[in-house]
Amino acid sequence: MGRKYAIRSQEQFYFVTFTVVYWLDVFIRQEYRNILIDSIKYCQKEKGLLVGAWCIMTSHVHLILGTDETSKLEDIIRDLKSYTSRHIRKYMENNPQESRKEWMLWMMKRAGEKKSNNKDFQFWQQHNHPIELSTKEIMLQRLDYIHNNPVDAGFVDQPADWVFSSARDYEDQKGIIEISFLY
């Protein structure tokens, strides 16, 4: 990870993006979203993860994350990505309803073989490009970007209409994941 994209302070929130290799549309299925959501909730409860904002798109996830300093943020991110990668793969391999199984697993195997630090499989792209939210202006810009992502993609008309996002929480509705409000 280059210096420009490093987690330098455990007291700050960071904008990160997790992208599935080859931008595969994995998260069109609820089962895979559930694995990700449950893992985030686990990290909140057991590892001190703070979620300031989030949005699950079809091939990637945008998050604003921090930590209560129970664990280092970079360790939580590593564990979250590792766990979700293994469990989504396992679910995919054993899901007879997954019509794209062979193709997606082949693509993920292909991605894993291209990276020397993988054994044989890669679900997430390796970079997260954490951007420190050091000013209110940067924080508001990233929060707006996250919540408007489904609108810009044409999935919904209003940010709060997207169920898989914290936009609802910021509109005084109860969302799926507990939020540590940024303002």
Least confident of 24-38, 81-95, 113-127: 113-127
Helices (H), the chain: 30-47, 73-93, 101-114, 136-152, 167-170
What's the angle, vertex CA 132, arms to CA 78 and CA 76, rounded to 5?
Answer: 20
- Rounded to two decimals, the pTM is 0.94
The whole-angstrom separation of Cα 127 and Cα 31 is: 24
Average pLDDT (2-22) is 89
Tell me whether residue 94 is exposed, middle or buried, using C-beta atoms within 10 angstroms of its C-beta: 0 to 12, 13 to 18, 19 or more.
exposed
Reported as a single tens digit per residue, the pLDDT across 111-165 is 999 877 767 899 999 888 999 999 999 999 999 999 999 999 999 999 999 999 9
The whole-angstrom separation of Cα 88 and Cα 84 is: 6
Taking all residues of the chain, what is their mean pLDDT, rounded to a whole number? 94
Sheet of 60-67: strand order equals 49-56, 60-67, 14-19, 131-132
